[in-house]
Amino acid sequence: MTATDIAIIGLGKIATDQHVPAIRACRDFRLAATVSLGQSLPDVPAYEDMEAMFAAHPGVAAVALCVPPQVRYPLAVESLKAGRDVLLEKPPGVTLAEVEALRALAERQGCVLYATWHSRHANGVDPARDWLAARRVTGGKVIWREDVKRWHPGQAWIWQPGGMGVFDPGINATSILTHILPDPVRVTRAEFETPANCETPIAARLSLLTGEDAVIDVDFDFRETGEQVWSMWFDTDAGRIELSGGGARTVADGRLLSDGAALESEYARIYDQFAGLIADRRSDVDLSPMTLVADAFMLARHRRTDEFHDEQKT
């Protein structure tokens, strides 16, 4: 089987850390080009705009959009109108409406659109979903606390409108939660802490409610300088299940269902799924993780806190 030529648009930290090695390890894709301002890879043709890249590489059939969400929409439109299949790094856009517009455009163009949620591919997520399928959730807790200076050094776009602030990692939690719980949840309360010099929150506390009125408390914080915590647990009518390491490790009633490290194989599985979607000519655009985030922004009480200044760690 011939590999699909793919181009990466936006060669930032997530692209170089995750997308590049995942594509190179995937037999279904060949990294044919990159488009980025001031960044390139050895032995891969590099361009600073997509029009030039498409002109030079008409065989590129797919693109992975890894630019910040604020500038992703026009690039996705250009790619789809050029007849290319499109993979969107999370979050898929800055608004729900623009992603719905991309979904409609992809359908009209006969292209594949894939809104990725890498944390759903963590080792313990599917075992957790299977375990919860026949159980009723009675309560739960989500804790996502990490050091923004460690994971997003110098990324000022996170603090600008559309950047989501602490919800940039927090949406990983909502992507897991919406995938594994047997029933939908809704946001009933949200409290944000936003630095005085920023437009997006550095911390957030949410309350979610299941269809059967079980409360799930959510704690997101970008200021964790100690142990990084990406965990959640749920009590049910038949025991407790706990996920840690961003969904990599799952323990149900003391029994280990799955183990692994955060980010292990997640992007490899993303590209396996993208290849399958291309083969089937089918899109996958699930907006439920982003809907919870949007609802939190609509309901939030806001509190200004100390200014945030990013001093990059070496």
Distance CA 296, CA 224 (A): 21
Distance CA 300, CA 100 (A): 24
Domain 4-115 has CATH 3.40.50.720: yes
Q: Is the dihedral of CA 276, 278, 279, 285 positive or negative?
A: positive
Distance CA 7, CA 46 (A): 10
Distance CA 87, CA 271 (A): 9
Give the pLDDT confidence of 179-228 residue by residue, as tens digits: 999 999 999 999 999 999 999 999 999 999 999 999 999 999 999 999 99
Q: Is-contact 7 34, C-beta < 8 A?
A: yes
Domain 122-260+294-305 has CATH 3.30.360.10: yes
- Provide the pLDDT for residue 313: 43
- Grade residue 100 by pLDDT with cuts at 50, 70 and 90: very high
Q: Please, where in the chain does CATH 3.30.360.10 lie?
A: 122-260+294-305
Residue 117: alpha-carbon gap to chain centroid: 4
Q: Is-contact 158 165, C-beta < 8 A?
A: yes
Burial (Cβ within 10 Å: 0-12, 13-18, ≥19) of residue 302 = exposed
| pLDDT for residue 311 is more than 80 | no
Q: Is the dihedral of CA 73, 170, 9, 19 positive or negative?
A: negative
Mean pLDDT value of segment 49-77: 97
- Grade residue 314 by pLDDT with cuts at 50, 70 and 90: very low
Q: Which of 81, 90, 149, 313 is an active site residue? A: 90
Distance CA 223, CA 73 (A): 30
Q: Annotate 163-208 with three-state secondary structure.
A: CCCCHHHHHHHHHHHHHHCCCCEEEEEEEEEEECCCCCCCEEEEEE
| pLDDT for residue 263 is more than 70 | yes
Both structure tokens of 12:
């930032």
Buried b (16+ CB within 10 A) or exposed e, 232-261: bbbbbeeeebbbbbbbbbbbbeeeebbebe
The pLDDT mean for the chain works out to: 96
Mean pLDDT value of segment 276-297: 98
Residues sharing a CB contact under 8 Å with residue 14, sequence separation 6 or more, in sequence order? 66, 89
What angle (nearest 5°) sits at the alpha carbon of residue 116, between those of residues 115 and 119?
A: 150
Q: Annotate 287-313 with three-state secondary structure.
A: CHHHHHHHHHHHHCEEEEECCCCCCCC
Q: What are the Cα distances from residue 14, in Å, to 11, 20, 64, 67, 233?
A: 8, 9, 11, 9, 27
β strands within 42-158, DSSP E: 46-47, 62-65, 85-88, 113-115, 137-145
Q: Please, where in the chain does CATH 3.40.50.720 lie?
A: 4-115
- Provide the pLDDT for residue 262: 82
Distance CA 67, CA 9 (A): 6
- Provide the pLDDT for residue 261: 86
90 is catalytic: yes
What angle (nearest 5°) sits at the alpha carbon of residue 168, between those of residues 108 and 161?
A: 80
| pLDDT for residue 242 is more than 90 | yes
- pTM of this prediction? 0.95
Residues sharing a CB contact under 8 Å with residue 53, sequence separation 6 or more, in sequence order? 7, 33, 35, 45, 47, 60
- Grade residue 237 by pLDDT with cuts at 50, 70 and 90: very high
